[in-house]
Amino acid sequence: MESVAPTSDDALEEVAAAPDDRETATVQADADAVTAGETAAEALDEAEAAQPTKPPRPEGTAWYVVHSYSGYENKVKKNLEHRIESMGMQDQIFQVIVPTEEEVELRDGQRRTTERRVFPGYILVEMVMNDDTWYAVRNTPGVTDFVRSGAKPVPLRPEEVDRILRRMEAEAPKIKVSFRVGQKVRITEGPFEDFMGTVDAIDTDRARVRVLVSMFGRETPIEVDFLQVERQ
């Protein structure tokens, strides 16, 4: 029997009936992406659920300020934390903070980063105030007293606490310079190296200083980086 060669119409029908490999691959890739996205979302939800939640503070919790000897704030903080633990008062006294901020000091062209105490001689304590907690804090070595109004310790207002905590968490360090407006300085780098001048303005946000230097018989303002000048 003679074989019948397929016609062009038969070939077209076979092509139409055959699945498009590229289309199938695209659909499969989309399905895989959806599955991966769902898996990632589930993993994120599980991770967030696993994070320890901060227990709510009991009613009456507030921040109080205690006096200590200046320069011994961190030592007193450790004393307080040890006393809280040894007396089992973690459910009434929650946090002890020495407010600090990062400061960059520029002196004679050198940059030095230090941690500066915002309120020397003072420590913040988050606690429920009662006779027992008052006694525990007040009689901790190094604590001289609470900040009080008359005989009663005065809590900080919430907006005061927020302002202090935001100041501590600020990313940009505070810049401290050794010169001031009106003071004589020398430019140490750049095209005006060794020029003498007078500080006209200080921009701590940009870490720039404007110096008035004598050029062509007149005072000309020159703006340079803090590190490019030194006090005379």
Domains 61-175 and 179-231 fall in the same CATH topology: no
Tens digits of residue pLDDT in 135-151: 999 999 999 999 998 88
Cα–Cα distance measured from residue 108 to residue 70, given in angstroms and rounded to the nearest whole number: 28
Domain boundaries, the chain: 61-175, 179-231
pLDDT > 50? residue 160:
yes
Q: Are residues 231 and 179 in contact, defined by beta-carbon separation less than 8 angstroms?
A: yes
pLDDT of 59 reads 87
Output the six-digit token pair for 7: 């016609």
Q: How is 193-211 classified by DSSP, letter by letter?
A: TT-EEEEEEEETTTTEEEE
pLDDT of 3 reads 47
Average pLDDT over residues 161-178: 77
- Who wins on pLDDT, 69 or 232? 69
Q: Which residues of 49-82 are buried (b: 16+ CB within 10 A; e: fewer)?
A: eeeeeeeeeeeeebbbbbbbeeeebeebbebbee
Q: Which of these ranges, 18-32, 42-56, 148-162, has the smallest mean pLDDT?
A: 18-32
Helices (H) and strands (E) in the chain, counts: 5, 14
What value does the mean pLDDT of the chain take? 79
pLDDT > 90? residue 112:
no
* CATH entry 3.30.70.940 includes domain 61-175: yes
Q: Which CATH class is domain 179-231?
A: mainly beta
Output the six-digit token pair for 173: 């360090």
- Range with the largest mean pLDDT of 105-109, 112-116, 141-145: 141-145
pTM across the whole model: 0.56
